[in-house]
Structure formats: structure tokens, C-alpha cells
Structure 1
Amino acid sequence: MRRLALVRHGQTDWNIQRRYQGWEGLDLNEVGRTQAREAAEHLRRLGAALGAEWSWLTSSTSPRAMQTALIVGEHLGLVPHDLQHADLRERGFGVAEGMLIEEARTRWPTREYPGGESVEAVLDRALRGLDAVALAHLGLDGVLVTHGTTLRLVVGHLTGEDPGSLPNGAIAVIEGEPGAWRTIVHPSGTTTSERAHRR
């Protein structure tokens, strides 16, 4: 049974400013680089506790995710896969990208932003992306660096409960097969044993 560790990227300046980043190409700041190193150590401990051997590493196509993956890889002795996955990007926020989150939510209280993606579309592509990554690494445990909303939606789908806002560097571990995943390490740090959700 394979295991996938899903890691939220490290901090950027827009995280501090509480701006929607979406598909924008921002770099990690110094705190973000430290968080990536800490995530690598957390992954090392999780791997030992779960009996998982992290043998591959990839990320979304966003620079902040790729930079996080590079730092994680340096500490785990892994080289990020050449092919990053657009399906695992952050939600596209359309015209709200770059805006202060509170300002955007005031202007669009339903959080459906002009030119942006729906949460249903993000979840659908994220699950499709997870399945594709797993199929490309049959039977192998691996690490995938993704984004806050993407990670929150996947965990919420698998557990039936919205985990809420997740910190930079948060990690979830799922296990199973494409189309039948379950969360075994919640990004809050709680180990869970939900039944697999099939789609």
C-alpha cells in the first residue's frame, strides 16, 4: 500500500501580507526556506514512524512549491521529478490574485471570484493529479509539494471535515490506490483512520 506525503509550500511575502497568491509565481522568503527544512525533518520522522520509504519527490508547477521541493529534496537525498504537475497548483483566484484576502472576501462574499476557479473544479483536478502521480510511481512512497487550498480540499474530501486554514509546511499523509485514498496523518498532526472515499 503506497503512501503519499502532501506538503504545503513554505512561506512567501504574500502569505505574511495575507494576499491571494493563486497561480502567481512568488518565491519563498527566508522563513519559508526554514519551514521547508523543518518539513523535511518532519517527513523523515513520519517515514520512520509509518514504515514509509520516501523514494520520489515532485511538486506543483508554482515556483514556491518547486523551491520547497528542492529544499526538502536536499535534506532527504531526493531529486525532484522533472515533471511538475499543474493539477496540483493552488486555486486560481482570477481577478482577486494579489488582492488582500479580506478585501477580496468583502467584494465577493460568496468567494466566487471573476475569472477564478470554483472549489469543486480545484478538488476535481487535485484528485486527478494525485491519481496520475501515484500511477507514475507504482508501489512507491513519495512526497508531493502543493498548496494550502488544494491540501485543505483534498483532506476535507477524504475525512469529511474541513481542516480549516493550514500553516505553511503542513503535512498530510494519505495511503491507498488511485481513486481510493484515506488520510492516515492529518495536517493538524492527528492520526486518523477514515475509510477510503471512492469516486
Structure 2
Amino acid sequence: MAKLFLVRHGQSLWNLENRFTGWQDIDITDAGIEEAKRAAVILKKEKIDIAFTSALIRAQHTLTIILDEIGKPNIPVIIDKALNERSYGELEGLNKAETALKYGDEQVHAWRRSYDVVPPGGESLKDTYNRVIPYFEATIAPLLKEGQNVLIVAHGNSLRSLIMYLEHLSPEEILEREIATGIPVTYIFDEHFHVSRRDT
């Protein structure tokens, strides 16, 4: 039975500063490094055949730390922008609290926590889903069906899209799902490629 491991990158500098990050290439903090190391402790006993990550440094750095810590720095790593965080467009770099003062709490909440409302120049979660899932189906799912164990280190909203797909969640249900940084979520698939178990 194949396993899929999902890890949200460790805390980034703009996570710490409460800024919209999106596609901005911001690295992880010292706390983020420690989160990556904690993820590695959980994953150390697992067999991992191949890893995927986004085109953004915070996810790549987290993955590198995990692979080094578990003693598997040479497994194949595929980097693709299909796994990037949701783009927040013109909001990227702005402090979330200051943005709420400017546009109102209700508008900012709609941009952050709705399924299909698009921030100025950015992507909705629906847009992110429509980017991530075709890539998963074409590139990652075939490996899982072959029995390979796959690690994906990515971002809150790209992983939220995958979780929505894997667990058949509604738009309302997925918006309630929080994904902690640096804590692996494991999906185990049966021979028919159905999720037979989920471990957090």
C-alpha cells in the first residue's frame, strides 16, 4: 500500500510578520528550520521513494532539511510551480491586519477564507485547486499507483487543495481545515487507489 506524506513548509519570515506571502520567494525562519527538523523525526521511520516541492524557496528549504535529517538527501526531487502557494496578487507583502483596516475585515476575510473569491490580481482557492489537482493526477498519482511512497512539501493552500481532493471535501469543509507548519499528514492508499487511512 502506497503512502503519501504532505508537509507544509516551516514558518517563513512573512508568516512571522503576518504578511500575505503568496508567490513571493521568502525563506523560512529559525523556527521554521526547527519545524522542518521535527517533521523529519516523524518521517524518519518511513520509506520515501520520491519527493515533490514547489518553485518557492521556503518549501524547497524545508524539504532539504527533512531529507538531510532522515538521511535520504539523494532521493529524486521534482520541483514544479504547480505546487506553489496560492497567489495573493496585489496583496502580497502587505500586513494582514493593516490590509483589514484599509479594506475592511469582511472583505479581507472573503479574500482569505472563501473558495472562489479572487483577491486583486491573485488566485482563489478554486483557482489553486484547478492548478494543483491536474498536476497531481498526471504526475504524482501514477507513482502512488505503482506503489511508490511520495513526500510533498508545499504550502497551506496547495496542500488544502490536495486534501479537498483526497478526502472529497466540500468548499465549506475545506475552508475549516487548518494545516499546521511542519507536521506531516499521511495518506495510505489501498490497491484500488482509495484512501484507506489518514494519519496526522
Q: Does structure 2 conserve the Cα–Cα contact (< 8 Å) formed by 1:33 and 1:71? A: yes
Note the C-alpha offset of 1:82.
4.7
Give the counterpart of 1:75 among 58, 69, 72.
Answer: 69
Cα drift, residue 28 of structure 1: 1.1
Any residues of structure 2 matched to 1:29-68 within 5 Å, and which?
A: 29-45=29-45, 47=46, 53-68=47-62
**Which has a greater percent of helix?**
2
Q: Structure 1 residues 183, 166: CA separation in 2 closer, same or farther (over 3 Å shift)?
A: farther
Q: Could you state the TM-score of these two structures normalised by the residue count of structure 2?
A: 0.78
The answer for unaligned runs of 5 or more in structure 1 is 48-52, 190-199
Deviations 1:138-193 (A, max 9, x none): 4210211010122223223433232533221132222449xx6537335xx3xxxx
Q: 2:142 aligns with which of 123, 130, 135?
A: 135
* Contact map agreement 1:87 1:125 (CA 8 A) in 2: yes
1:93 is aligned, of 74, 84, 88, to: 88
Larger mean Cα displacement after TM superposition, 159-168 or 145-154 = 159-168
TM-score by length of 1: 0.79
User: Matches of residues 11-26 of structure 1 in structure 2 within 5 Å?
Assistant: 11-26=11-26
Instruction: Answer yes or no: is the 8 Å Cα contact 2:50–2:149 preserved in 1.
Output: yes
Shift of 1:14: 0.8
Judge conservation of contact 2:49–2:75 (CA < 8 Å) in 1.
no
Q: Please state how far the C-alpha of 1:122 moved relative to its aligned partner.
A: 0.5
Cα deviation 1:124-151 (Å, max 9, x = unaligned): 2222222213435742102110101222
> Quick one: percent identity of the two aligned structures?
27
- Counterpart-to-counterpart distance in 2, 1:101 and 1:80: 38
Other structure's SS at 2:97 match = helix
**Aligned partner of 1:153 among 161, 164, 174:** 161
Q: Report the residue type matching 1:54 in the other structure.
A: I
Q: Hey, what does 1:194 align to over in structure 2?
A: none
Conserved? CA contact 2:188–2:198, under 8 Å:
no
The farther-off stretch of 152-161 and 21-30 is 152-161
Separation in 1, partners of 2:154, 2:37: 16
Q: In 2, distance between residues paired with 1:38 and 1:5?
A: 14
Deviations 1:5-56 (A, max 9, x none): 01000111111111111111011111111110100111235x3xxxxx2122
Helix, strand or coil at the partner of 1:65: helix
Paired position in structure 2 for 1:172: 185
Q: Tell me if structure 1 keeps the 8 A contact 2:51–2:78.
A: no
Equivalenced residue count is 180
Q: Distance in 2 between matches of 1:172 and 1:81?
A: 20
1: distance between equivalents of 2:97 and 2:195? 33
- Measure, in 1, the Cα distance between the counterparts of 2:130 and 2:161: 10
Alignment match, 1:192: none
Larger Cα-atom Rg:
2
- The answer for unaligned runs of 5 or more in structure 2 is 112-117
CA distance in 1, matches of 2:38, 2:70: 11
